[in-house]
Each structure stands twice: as C-alpha cells, then as structure tokens.
Amino acid sequence: MSGFNKTFYALSDETRRKILEMLRKKDLTPTEIGEKFAITAPSLSYHLNALKEADLVSSRREGQNIYYSLNLSVFEELVDLFYKFTKKK
C-alpha cells in the first residue's frame, strides 16, 4: 500500500478516527490513549502503527514516554486532493 491508500485505510477504522480526534486536542502517550478504549495493548499498538504508516501521526520520545501528535500536513494534502475533485474545469 502506498500514498493515499495508506491514508484512506487508516481513516477507514472508527477507533483510529477517534484517536485522531483525541490527538487534535493535545499530544498523548499510548497509555493516555488506551484509557479511552476497551482494547488490548497490542490492538492499540496496531492502530497507532497504522496511523504512523499513513503519516497521520508522528511520535517523539521524552524520557521513558512516547508522545503521539497529529500530523496536519497529510490532512492538508487530503483537503487539496478533495478540492481538485470538486473544482470544475
């Protein structure tokens, strides 16, 4: 899978969309994200990896914690793509 295919795949799952909504408010650790879902740690890791592969989120290490944050540039590219579809020639 490449490019927008990964993006659309990542956005197709409700859990991943909810994670993105949470990250819109502030950067969070996997523990903070996991507290809002009734899923296992491996499942959460799977969802976070799908979001990272699609470049929808990025991660950074601070001491022993990893923080996830929203990558707005991919969303800007999506808006541009949709704009091109709606623009009349």
Question: Is 3's pLDDT higher than 80?
Answer: no
> So where are the chain's domains?
4-86
Q: Which CATH fold topology does 4-86 show?
A: Arc Repressor Mutant, subunit A (1.10.10)
Res 2: pLDDT: 57
Question: Is 11's pLDDT higher than 60?
Answer: yes
Query: pTM value?
Result: 0.84
Distance of CA 60 to the CA centre of its chain: 14
Can you tell me the distance from the alpha carbon of 67 to that of 38, in angstroms, rounded to the nearest whole number?
20
Please name the residues in contact with 1: beta carbons below 8 A apart, sequence gap of 6 or more: 9
Note whether 27 and 67 are within 8 A (CB): yes
Residues 27-83 have pLDDT tens digits of: 999 999 999 999 999 999 999 999 999 999 999 999 999 999 999 887 777 778 778
Task: Tally DSSP H helices, then E strands, for the chain.
Answer: 5, 2
